[in-house]
Amino acid sequence: MKYFLKLLIGLTLFQGCESNVDPPVILPAAAEVMFKTDRFTLESDARIVYDEAFEQAAFLLSQYTHLSTLSQNEAAAKETAFALRLDNALKGEQYRLDIRDQGIEIKAGTLSGAFRAAQTIRLLMPVSFEEEGSKAQSVELPLMSISDEPRFGYRGMHLDVSRHFFPVAFIKKYIDLMALLKFNVFHWHLTDDQGWRIETDKFPKLNTVGSFRKESLVGHYNDQPATYDGKRYGGYYSKADIREIVGFAQERGIEVIPEIDIPGHSSAILAAYPEFGCDNYNDTVATTWGVFDAILCPKPETFEFLDAIFDEILPLFPSNYVHIGGDEAVKTRWQKCSHCQGLIEQQDLKNEYELQSYFVQKVSDMLENKGKLIIGWGEILEGGLSAKASIMSWRGVEGGVTAAKAGMNAIMTPTSHCYFDYYQSEKESEPLAIGGFLPLQKVYEFNPIPDELNEKEAAYILGGQGNVWTEYLDTPQAVEYMAFPRMIALSEALWSQNNRKNFKNFANRLEQFKKRLDVLEVNYANHLYEIKGAFDETSDSPSYTLSTSLENQLIRFTTDGAVPTAKSMVFTEPIPVKQNTIIKALVFQNDVAVSDLFEQRIETHLGFGKLVTISPSPNTSYDSGGPQALLNGIGGSNKRFGDSEWLGFWGEDLSILIDLGEATQVQRLSTRFFNTNGQWVYAPKSISVQADGQTPIITPIHGKETIVDVQIPINQKTRYLKIMIPGYGIIPEHMQGGGNPAWTFIDELKIE
């Protein structure tokens, strides 16, 4: 037998292997794999022999392989086709898998490593083995050796069940899919303004009142006027439900970390027990989304309440961690509360931010006495915090950088790469989402280690996590559509070593992996054939390129507005754009279109393709089109600001310089600003435009529409246009995101 070259585990073809079975596709990619030319047949009556420490993993293996005979009998080891062995030289989640002529052997140093190896075996089995009620059968497997371990120790997926409540069966399915992809932490967001989801005996009104809202918002938060469905909504998980789910996760090597969101996001708590808030407020369980000023008051009885709650629910969760939220805690009530102000003075605190740190520290000490450590969103850093806490950095990477430099553990989950409630396609037909734009490739390219950290500081970055917030996801199918396949991309970003990653290779493997998702009845989004367009940055003149995530696809296109046919031009090189153009394209296989229709309108103007510089640069989360997106003749989406045309800036004043190349008669400049205050996005209050040697023209900006159009008359000959756009400033405290800088989103700068 001859060894092939070392290949990524995800390669979908085993050259030289003659078999009538589909080759396996393994995601995420393993660290090292070697294939051989021969194959081994795993018979349906084979025996699994395992060391005592790996009994749970052996049980999983029996499920995935349909081998029902398990044994710890050493004498049977000589007869067996399958052995699961303890090897103390392997650490953490490391494992080694060998398929030889004589059989299969797995080695691991821990149960966690054995669990991960079991999932690899699962993926080596035919997809038909995933079908409920499928029978044991013999399976041909390529001879191979796999040595594998994760890049990061924390690989999490989150699910919000407060905004929308999901049945136990779906939570278990979600966890099982996580296990398949080698995630190891399930972050269960159990409480928020819209509902309390844990059965509690000591405070029953948390369930009778706090677990139900009188109705729910219909449509998007930004829609005006707001409408509601008029239907009582809610539910909660019994303690038996939680034990079942946590046990199910443990059997797959997944840790369940509960989140009890405090001190803010507490409308449901205070609707049930207003005495734990500041005085004279009448809270109800929230019927809409967003951020509210309901906040727990840091008084003794509140901490006694929390102490009793934690005593009751912590035995349900064996994890060493409890997530306490800590985000978006609006402090207006604390500012008006005599007790809070007295506490600030008594504790020699500077402000309400340090009061939040005081609150969080009290809870941290409380939980530490119960044997638990806390995790919190990045805001718990405000006002200072103990190094024993771990931070989830979501508003970018800055929180994680600050934590790591201070010697605190951090988990990276920035909106830019990890928020799966964002749109994943620019198609207008996509299901309603909260906003933003997070395509599959961007998730895949996520690197949790920020460039600002040195090697010692980087050690404090534990890993990363994908978040599924459910304001607009009211069914299990909706959750699956938003989570998949982005969850798969994240699994490889967190598990596989950087030098093993290649998006085109991943996309090709994912195309094959969809067969397994189909059998598992996962309602995944399928955008692999979706055509993407962009201007060619290497061309001397404006030229437009077309591509798909999958390699070697036949794209046919037109430039006259007609729908492409099997006889239309084949895209082989960038398309020159010299005038107003409508590009339409389709992917064809065997003369049949297999993709949705791609359409892009390009409207040329005096600034089209000209040189533009921006200071500061757009925020990396909203810069997919680059500065040239302002002068490429393409307008951004009317419904969402996260596409490749809108450029986003967070709390910054903008300076834009356009060079038209020569003195040109300009009549006007027009542009658009996104304005969705519920998403922290505000149109600026004014814009200033200055032509060569002239006094700047300052134009006030008014309007409360979702998109604010602005036109500035120029009426002169000029080569340069300098545009100054002051940021809106700090969001008012009573608004969503209060106290944070507002975002500015700007569209095409059209010059006529």
- Please state, in angstroms and rounded to a whole number, the distance separating the CA atoms of residues 612 and 657: 6
Q: CB 17: neighbour CB atoms within 10 A?
A: 18
Q: CB 476: neighbour CB atoms within 10 A?
A: 18
Rounded to an integer, the average pLDDT of 287-307 is: 96
Query: H or E element: which one contains 145?
Result: strand 139-148
pLDDT at 5 over 70: no
User: pLDDT (tens digit, 9 = 90+) per residue, 468-508?
Assistant: 999 999 999 999 999 999 999 999 999 998 766 899 999 99
- According to the model, what pLDDT value does residue 549 have? 92
Strand partners, 412: 393, 464
Measured in whole angstroms, the distance separating CA 191 from the mean position of its chain's CA atoms is 20
Angular region, 121: left φ>0, alpha ψ -120 to 50, beta rest: alpha
pLDDT at 628 over 50: yes
Q: CB 157: neighbour CB atoms within 10 A?
A: 26
Q: Annotated catalytic sites, by residue?
A: 192, 265, 328
Both structure tokens of 483: 């989570």
Apex 110 CA angle, 107 and 116, nearest 5: 70
- According to the model, what pLDDT value does residue 2 have? 31
- According to the model, what pLDDT value does residue 280 have? 84
User: pLDDT (tens digit, 9 = 90+) per residue, 219-238?
Assistant: 998 887 899 999 999 999 99
Q: CB 670: neighbour CB atoms within 10 A?
A: 15
Both structure tokens of 268: 């449901």
- Residue tagged 């080694």 (tokens): 96
The region of weakest confidence among 70-84, 315-329, 366-380 is: 70-84
Measured in whole angstroms, the distance separating CA 239 from the mean position of its chain's CA atoms is 29
- Is residue 112 within 8 Å of residue 93, measured between CB atoms? yes
Query: Predicted confidence band at 3 (pLDDT cuts at 50, 70, 90)?
Result: very low
Q: What is the CA radius of gyration of the chain?
A: 28
- Residue tagged 């500061």 (tokens): 616
Rounded to an integer, the average pLDDT of 91-108 is: 95
pLDDT at 606 over 50: yes
- According to the model, what pLDDT value does residue 80 have? 66
Distance spanning both ends of the chain, measured CA to CA: 71
Rounded to an integer, the average pLDDT of 381-395 is: 84
pLDDT at 46 over 80: yes
Query: Predicted confidence band at 10 (pLDDT cuts at 50, 70, 90)?
Result: very low
- Is residue 211 within 8 Å of residue 192, measured between CB atoms? no
User: pLDDT (tens digit, 9 = 90+) per residue, 431-456?
Assistant: 999 988 899 999 999 999 999 999 99
- Is residue 157 within 8 Å of residue 126, measured between CB atoms? no
Rounded to an integer, the average pLDDT of 240-246 is: 98
Measuring CA to CA, how many Å separate 445 from each of 343, 464, 493? 46, 13, 7
Both structure tokens of 30: 């393993």
How does the average pLDDT of the chain come out, rounded? 92
